Amino acid sequence: MSKKIRKKSSKSDISGTVRAATASHTKQVREAGPSTSLAESGKAKPRPAPAASPAVELAEGFPAPSFNLPREDGALVSLADFAGRKLVIFFYPRAGTPGCTREAMDFTRLATDFAASGTAVIGVSADPLKAQQSFRNKHKLSTPLISDEKREVLEAYGAWGEKSMYGKIFMGVLRTTVLVNEAGRIARIWRKVKVEGHADEVLAAAREL
């Protein structure tokens, strides 16, 4: 009779020990929280996303990004067309608006002087060909007007970005001018261009190259 009692008592002790160990483990897992290991929680920790690489901003001395886009008459214009020559590219927000009209007319006014300095001039915006053609005809502009509707060249030259007007934030063309030297490298960059006197300043820089 005493042997049976001892066996029963032994089983009871073992069962109690298992329950105590299980309860202790469960408490440790709960207290560990999000830092619990895979073996403890059954779930792997999420890995942090890799940091995004910052975009490289175009700077003086960089090779000019290539392009091949249509001008207002439908003909394709590429950077290679100006190999061995200096090139001015002025990026303007919208054909026909007051600031853009004044800027384009100023570059047209100085067209002979730019040619004498061995410098070609082109304008680029995101306007469609029809708008570019109308713009050129209306104001008798002599500079080719390039249509970059997909904004690929605008972005490559850093002329597309965030703008604000009347408290509203939006994406658009940033008035920018780039001077490319005969070797096809960026010689000067004008950002946040103020139209007044700008074309004359660019001509002076082109003459100094």
Report in angstroms the alpha-carbon separations of 15 from 3, 9, 20, 81.
19, 10, 9, 89
Q: Are 63 and 185 in contact (CB under 8 A)?
A: yes
As a whole number of angstroms, the distance between CA 2 and CA 94 comes to 103
What DSSP state is assigned to residue 114?
H
As a whole number of angstroms, the distance between CA 6 and CA 2 comes to 6
**Residue 187 is among the residues annotated as catalytic for this protein:** no
Catalytic residue among 64, 100, 153, 203: 100
Across the strands, what pairs with 67? Answer: none
- Count of CB atoms within 10 A of residue 17's CB? 10
Catalytic positions, please?
100
